[in-house]
Amino acid sequence: MNKFKKAANKVKLGVMAVESFKSVPHGIDGDTFFSPEIPESIKSAVQLLHKVEAAAFDKLVHAVVESFQSGDFPSDEAFERVQADVGGDEGPNYNVIFTAIHSIIRTAVRNRTKASVVAADLKAINVPPPFVDIIIKVMKQERFQLETQSVVTRTRFPRLDNLQWRVDVAISSSSLLRVFRPSILFQMSLSDGSIKTFEVSVEQFHQLRYNTAKVLRDMQELERHPIMRIAFEGDKKKFDDK
CA atoms within 13 A on the CB side of 133: 5
Q: Helical H runs in the chain?
A: 2-20, 40-49, 54-70, 76-86, 94-110, 115-124, 129-141, 143-153, 202-223, 226-236
Q: Reply yes or no on whether the pLDDT at 202 is more than 50.
A: yes
More confident residue, 198 or 3: 198
Q: Reply yes or no on whether the pLDDT at 82 is more than 80.
A: no
**How many angstroms separate the first and last alpha carbons of the chain?**
61
What is the band of 15 on the pLDDT scale with cuts at 50, 70, 90?
very low
pLDDT tens, position by position, 92-118: 588 888 889 988 988 888 888 888 889
Is residue 199 within 8 A of residue 184, CB to CB? The reply is yes
Closest CA to 104 of 88, 119, 85: 119
d(CA 170, CA 234): 55
Q: Reply yes or no on whether the pLDDT at 241 is more than 60.
A: no
Task: Tell me the pTM.
Answer: 0.61
Which residues, 6+ apart, have CB-to-CB distance to 92 below 8 Å?
48, 51, 52
d(CA 184, CA 201): 6
pLDDT tens, position by position, 209-221: 999 999 999 988 8
pLDDT tens, position by position, 220-229: 888 887 877 7
Q: Report phi then psi at 53, rounded to 5.
A: -75, 150
